[in-house]
Structure 1
Amino acid sequence: MLRRLAAVAAWAVFLAAVPTGSLYVTTLPSGADVWVDGTYVGRSPLVLDALATGHHAVGITKTGWDPLQLDVSVVAGQTTLSSTRLAQAQTGVRPALGSIALHGEEADATYLDGVPVSPAKDGTYVASAGTHRLVARTAHGRLTRSVTVWPQTRTDVLLQPDTEPPRPSVVAPAEDYVPRTAIRLDGTKVVIRYGGHEVVGRIGLTTYRLDGKSVDYGEAPTLIGNRLYLPLDLLTTLSQGAR
């Protein structure tokens, strides 16, 4: 019995000594099936922890999109990001639809590529994949935005009165681009440390501190339900990591 306990203890010590890291997989569009070293692990976005350090084969598949096979390297004690934009498969089949969700200014009429549209039961607007011209009629006048829609993906658009020439105004859920553990909320203060970057912002303010420098992304951090939304440009910078 003592010999068996000693063997178990030695094995536990060995396992504790094995260096491991984490892998964070995101795709655009999300909801892709992910395999690591031939084993199915779930759908993107996902975090896989306690992976042995070194190279791993990551397979990504989604109906209507070209499959991918990636080689990623996991470092001990760190989270490795694999962020992939999928290419639509040339099957001749009409791609799945996406949707648009509007936030901010309330619109009493909405037009997509010049055609009046009405929201679905969940408040979103169904749209085909691609870039669209969105016009919303609000109390502050007509707001025009250029919006890109991905199949089977919801694009969130924050509408605010124009203080400068119209420009794309897109936000996205922060946790779709960075792990939730990298995000810290302290009252109105938002701090994100990820990919070699540090971002500090405040709810209601469009100016952020990115790696010690002041940057105005045009959109303030926004809480919708329990989810934090940030400017897509900022999230893209974080997900790409330090260059």
Structure 2
Amino acid sequence: MSLIACAVFLFAALGCTSEPTPPVNSGGGNAASPKPAPAAKVSLAPVGEATPPLDGGRVQSNMPEGWKFLPRSNDYLFAAYYEDKGGIPRLVLKETDAGGLPETTSADSAKQLVSKITEEVGGDKDAALTVVNIGNSWFVRYEKAMKFRSLAANGVFLETVRSGKRFSIELLAYSVDKEKFLPALYRFAADLKVEAAVEPEKTSEPSESTEEEPSETSEEAPAESEEESGEE
């Protein structure tokens, strides 16, 4: 029942912000004006090394303490690992075009992103979509059941839209370790900074017409003499 109730809160723009999804009173009272769930205190891992400037310097964050960089790849904007470079847990940041989605600045503005993710994950009840406030930012959080080296794993995703881009931060961890590493995911999300894309200002072109006008009048007389000298 808690997942269904949370979905109702999402699409009503009330924002289910707790982690995990809170229980909801299932009594038969009037549910015309349900109260939003109280925001849970999101635990942040200690700050580690800062990421290099990403996407031309527009994007940057802080890795959780103890995490290390993964090599660059065309598959992601940035990635980090904890102990095993070829294993998990792993943090991955991806960036795509927002496709017209509004900026995720509140639980209400996250509704369209929630709808978009719902279309993408289909009717997967295990996704457990929620809207989460982390630091000064808003994210849509959901999960995917996965396998890694034949063992049960979970992908926990935080998505947000900023400056015309859609950002996805994924924590991939073994299911038994998920809760242990969630603070690392929240730290990376809390410190994510995205600068607005600055379009180069169009410099005003020189007023060629004002420069040419006097030259045309002053060259009228010599022009005739040049033609005459050419004929000679």
TM-score tier, shorter chain, comes to: under 0.3
- Structure 1 or 2: larger strand share? 1
TM, length-normalised to structure 1: 0.26
Structure of larger gyration radius: 2
Tell which has more relative contact order, 1 or 2 (C-alpha 8 A, sep 6+).
Answer: 2
- Structure 1 or 2: larger helix share? 2
